[in-house]
Amino acid sequence: MSCDFKVLQFNMQFGQIWSEHYPDHAPVRLAATIEEIQSHEADIILLQEVEQARPGGIQLAEPPNYTAIKSALTDYDGYFSYPKADPQELPFGIGLAIFSKTPLRDRMELELPSPRVAFEFLGETRMPTDRHLIGATTTIKGRDVHLLNTHLLAFFMLNLSEEQQGQRELVAQQLSATRDMPTLLMGDFNVSKHERLVKQFGDLGFHTVQSLEPTWRRRPYVLDHIFYNDFLRPSDYWVLPTPASDHHTLSAEFEFTR
* CATH number of 201's domain: 3.60.10.10
pLDDT at 2: 77
Our count of domains for the chain comes to 1
CA distance 117 to 96: 24
DSSP per position, 119-142:
EEETTEEE-PPPEEEEEEEEEETT
How far apart CA 241 and CA 159 sit, in angstroms, is 27
Range of the domain at 20: 5-256
Q: What is the pTM of this model?
A: 0.96
Tell me the angle at which helices 30-39 and 64-72 cross, rounded to the nearest 10 degrees. Answer: 40
CB distance 147 to 136 below 8 Å: yes
3-state class (DSSP) for residue 32: helix
- Residues 134-147 have pLDDT tens digits of 999 999 999 999 99
- 87 DSSP 8-state letter: T
Spatial distance between the Cα atoms of 152 and 198, rounded to a whole number of angstroms: 15
DSSP 243: T
Contact by Cβ (8 Å): 176, 204:
yes
Tens of pLDDT along 8-62?
Answer: 999 999 999 999 999 989 999 999 999 999 999 999 999 999 999 999 999 999 9
The mean predicted confidence, pLDDT, of the chain is: 94
Give pLDDT tens digits for 159-175. Answer: 776 666 799 999 999 99
